[in-house]
Each structure stands twice: as C-alpha cells, then as structure tokens.
Structure 1
Amino acid sequence: MRALISLSRSVPVADPGQRAESSGSRSSRVVCPPARLPALRGPCRSGQLKATSSFFRMPAALVENSQVICEVWASNLEEEMRKIREIVLSYSYIAMDTEFPGVVVRPIGEFRSSIDYQYQLLRCNVDLLKIIQLGLTFTNEKGEYPSGINTWQFNFKFNLTEDMYSQDSIDLLANSGLQFQKHEEEGIDTLHFAELLMTSGVVLCDNVKWLSFHSGYDFGYMVKLLTDSRLPEEEHEFFHILNLFFPSIYDVKYLMKSCKNLKGGLQEVADQLDLQRIGRQHQAGSDSLLTGMAFFRMKE
C-alpha cells in the first residue's frame, strides 16, 4: 500500500523550470530513463532532417512573439483547432512543452526500484494537479515551419484560490509572464480541449512525430488530459496508453547522449547550439518552439 505526504504550498519544491534546467534532484527528473520512452533512440548524424528555417539565426528583435506564437484561450479555441487540423497534414513534426504547478506530494512506502519510485512520484502529482499551459510547434520533416503562426500556446483554466500548487512554481511562472487572473476567467476547459484534440489528427496517428525535452511530466499530463482519468498505477500500463496516443516520441534530452558536447537544460543546450529563443522562457509556446529548433539543429 502506498500513501501520499502532502507538502505545504509554501514549501520550496521542484518547479517546471527546474524540471527542464536541472538534473540533480529526483523531483526534477523525468520519471524514468529516457531510453524507456518509445521511438526515443537516434544518433546525431549529419545530413539527417537538416533544418532550413531562418528562425535559427534570426535575431529575436526581428520576430515578434505574435508573428509565430498564437495565444489560445477559451474564446478562440475552436477556431485555432480548425487551423491545426489543416496544418498537421503537411507539418507532422510536433514539438511539445507544458507548464504545470510544480511537485507538491511525494509517495512513501516500498518500491520495486528507483524507476518505480519516479513513476509513482509523477503519478501522484499529475493526478492531484492541473496543467496550466501547453505549447505545440509544427514543422515538417526538414524542420521547415508553416508561414505565419507555427506555435500554439494553450492556456487552461487555473484558479489560485482553489487549485493546488507549489508557491515557488507559481512565482516562477508569474515572473515569466503567465496571467493567472486571465487563466481563471478565460482559460480553456480541459475536457473540451481533449475532445477537440482527439479528432484533430494530432494524436493517435502513426505519421505524427513528437519532439520533447525531458518530458516525463509533460506526457503524464497529456495522458491524464486525453483519458480524463487518473494515471495507471503501474508504469507499463502508462506506457501502453502513451504509445497509443503518441506512437513516435523523440526526446532531445536523450538524443544529447549521442552529442557528447551538449549538456544541461533546454536553455543551456540552445545556447550551445547558437539558437535564438523567441518569446519568454518558462512559457510553453516559447519552450516548445526552442525544443523543435534544438532537435533539428542536432540533426544537421
């Protein structure tokens, strides 16, 4: 029997930024070794999937966020999902990132292995907490973007009075520009979003390739959202469901093992690859866009 220990909202615990930028504490690691994610292996060979997007070298001052990143709230959700249904037909490589309210509980009891502990840590937190943002960036197999908007940042309902969170995580996200009052008043209902996503051609499709960075929690929240249920108690059941919705996943953090000169979190990797971020760090749209850039730059 496993139990949960709740931590106070004011207790410093791992946050979304630490998840991406640190590999030290258990609470900030991907729940299981990246090698266990499907379709994750891949060498860093030159010539494969060479990216041709001018965004790689374009100064940030020349590209406004609004030119490439679309903010999606409840009011424009259906309109933007219609656009995505068309975009994904030609741009089926999707870089993904989420923002969520930290880690607030830890499992106690006996665990079969450290991997089992990490999954139970992920499971209990994803079950208790709510996703705040989702970023999706669309490219083709060459790393080319659609003209105009290429990234959608979905902003979900979140209430600081009613919902659980880590204070450190909320502070980090607020400092990164998240508008929590607007999330409460105009945020997207996750059930409605899941219904639209299921018929969008984005999930449940073998031809769609998902790009991510250290993404255990990201996909945990996506599975919860799509199934509208708690995560399975056993890790192998989680991976079975994950593989149904997301048949092909490439995690940049794991691919870095084939590029020995790369290390660190997403921003550090982007700096080493001479990539220019568009938007603000710790916002899901900007982070997903940078993840896609990093993937294709590593393939050059």
Structure 2
Amino acid sequence: MTTPPLFYRHPRPPGVRISKIMAGNLHNAVSLILSHMMGGFSFVAVDTQFPGEVHRHPRGDALTADERYGVVKANADELRLLQMGITLCDAQGRLPVIPWGADGGLHEMMWEVDFCDFDARLHRHVPESVEFLRSQGFDFLAARHFGVPADVFAAELHRAGILRLPGITWVTFGGMYDAAFMFKLATFGAPLPESRQGLVAQVGAHFGPLVFDGKYMALAVNAHGSLAAVGEKLGLPALEPNIHMAGPNSLMAIHVFMELRRRFVPLRGGHRSCSLQFYGL
C-alpha cells in the first residue's frame, strides 16, 4: 500500500496564514470551512484554549482515569472557552489554498476563533495561564469586544451542518479538554456527562466515529510529551514562529496525526483502532 505524503510540497505556497474568525465574519468563515470540508478536506484538527485549570485534585497528577475525568468535568463545566484553532487537510496532508492579502496571493490557511464570553474581572481563571496566553499574543480586550459568543458559534456550526457531515475525521492532541469543549459547543454549554464513558459516547454521537487524539496514538510509536516534543520525535519540522495559540497548535496537531496515520497503515486495524480514545481517559 502506498502511504500518503505528509506535506503538500509541489507546488507549496509560501507560508500558512491564520484567518481570524470574529463576530463580523463568522457566517462567511464557517461557510468557507464547510465548503472545503465538503470538497475533500475531510480531516479537521481542533485545538482549544481556556483560562487554566481552576480545579485540581488533592493528589496531583497521580490519578485514575475516573478521577482525572472528574477534574476535567469540574473545569470544563465552569470555565469559558477563549479560543479554538481549526486546520483542515485532505487525505494527502494538503491544506486548503486560499487567496490572501491585497495582491490575492495564494496561501495555505488555518482558522482561529476568538470567543467573547470571558472577562478576567468576572470569571474564574488561573492568572498564570491568562498571562501566558497574553504573552503569546492573545488580545483579551479585542476578544471581549469583537469575538464570537460561544452559543452563536455553536448555532452557526449546527446551521451549516458541520457536526453532521459524514466521513469527517476529527483530530485533537492531548484531547481531554478538546473533547470536553467540543461537547459543550455541540450542546450549547450543557454540563459534561457524569462519567468519562458518557463523554466519549456523546462526542461520538455528535461528531461521528472518527475522533482521534494524536497524543494517545503516539504512545504506539513510543513518542511522549508535549505537542512540540512528539512532533520532534516524529521528525517533523518545528513551527515558525513557535507560538502556542489555538491556530498553530491545530496545524501542528494535523501534521502529527497525518504522520502517525502513515505509520499506522501497516498495523492491524490501522489508525482507526485508536478512534475515540483520549490520552488520560
């Protein structure tokens, strides 16, 4: 079997651009994403950013899967989503190529949604997490004034039918919280199910049977650690600039997944044996 190449090399437009999704361009951006998903870009990587873990277990990180899920549920039920990164690719690892800028030059594209629901003066958060995101370039004031309400974004996803598209592969990395916030978007902010099995079942019901966590898959090739560490272990080039925001993280997540997918081809069951398995749960 021929394995799919990871990168779109010939011809490769210079640079991957981030298209910001704010309240003013929400409808057009979601419609464009939908058109690409329906046009063969059926692999969708998602990364979420939220204002830190305000709930911790007294035993720290030495937890059972059920205890860890309890921490995830407590945080996701209370916290507000700050940002979501979305990167699409096709079965050969190619990203959408879209005209960009005043000259209409072609560039590969990813998307980044800023949400407006969080206000550090009103809502619980971890100050260090908020400061880290600010240092990476997240503009909290602009998000609050021009960002998208999570419920409005969810309604637009449902209107477009994105959550019901057949044959879509959803990709995360270290996806416990990604899965939690994807569920919250799909259900307009409903509390997470009481059990981790319930969350997995609900994610499958809303997003389909092909939902993957690259961090879980990487265990099979003895690659551990952060997104950047696993990418380096797999021999992938680091992102430049190395910014830890939702858009670039989703881009790296899709590269990691496509490389792992290629390596899983010879294995019995292939990469699909890892579907709906989340690292830590």
How high is the TM-score relative to the length of structure 1?
0.75
Asked whether the 8 Å contact 1:176–1:280 carries over to 2, the reply is no
**Contact 1:99 1:134 (C-alpha < 8 Å) held by counterparts:** yes
- Matches of 2:241 and 2:30 in 1, distance apart? 22
The answer (yes or no) to whether the contact 1:88–1:201 under 8 Å persists in 2 is: no
- For 1:130 and 1:138, the matched residues in 2 are separated by 24
SS at structure 1 position matched to 2:163: coil
The equivalent residue for 1:266 is 227
Distance in structure 2 (CA, Å) of the matches to 1:78 and 1:278: 30
- Greater RCO, 1 or 2 (C-alpha within 8 Å, sep 6+): 1
CA distance in 2, matches of 1:68, 1:53: 15
What residue in structure 1 maps to residue 112 of structure 2? 153
Classify the secondary structure of the residue corresponding to 2:121. coil
Counterparts of 1:75 and 1:175 in 2: how far apart (Å)?
A: 25
Which residue of structure 2 lines up, in the alignment, with residue 141 of structure 1? 91
Find the counterpart in structure 2 of residue 29 from structure 1.
none
Contact 1:252/1:295 (<8 A) preserved? yes
Q: 1:215 and 2:175 equivalent?
A: yes
Aligned residue number for residue 198 of structure 2: 237
Q: Does 1:49 align with 2:4?
A: yes
* Alpha-carbon distance in structure 1 between the residues aligned to 2:196 and 2:171: 21
How many residue pairs get aligned? The number is 244
1:176-255 alignment to 2 at 5 Å? 176-228=136-188, 229-247=190-208, 248-255=210-217
Correspondent of 1:120 among 50, 65, 70: 70
1:47 positional shift: 4.2
1:196 and 1:280 map into 2 onto residues whose CA distance is 31
Superposition RMSD on alpha carbons, in Å? 2.3
Are 1:81 and 2:42 counterparts? Answer: no
Contact 1:51-1:297 at 8 Å conserved across structures: yes
Structure 1's unaligned 5+ residue stretches are: 1-45
- Report the Cα distance in structure 2 between the residues aligned to 1:93 and 1:78, rounded to whole angstroms: 21
User: Residue 101 of structure 2 corresponds to which residue in structure 1?
Assistant: none
Which residue is 2:44 aligned to? Answer: 94
What's the % identity of the aligned pairs? 25
Shift of residue 249, structure 1, vs aligned partner: 1.2
Deviation at 1:279, TM superposition (A): 5.0
Cα distance in 2 for partners of 1:173, 1:163 equals 16
CA-CA distance at 1:295 after TM superposition: 1.7
Moved over 6 A (4+): none
Distance 2:178 2:71 in 1: 14
Cα distance in 2 for residues equivalent to 1:79 and 1:207: 23
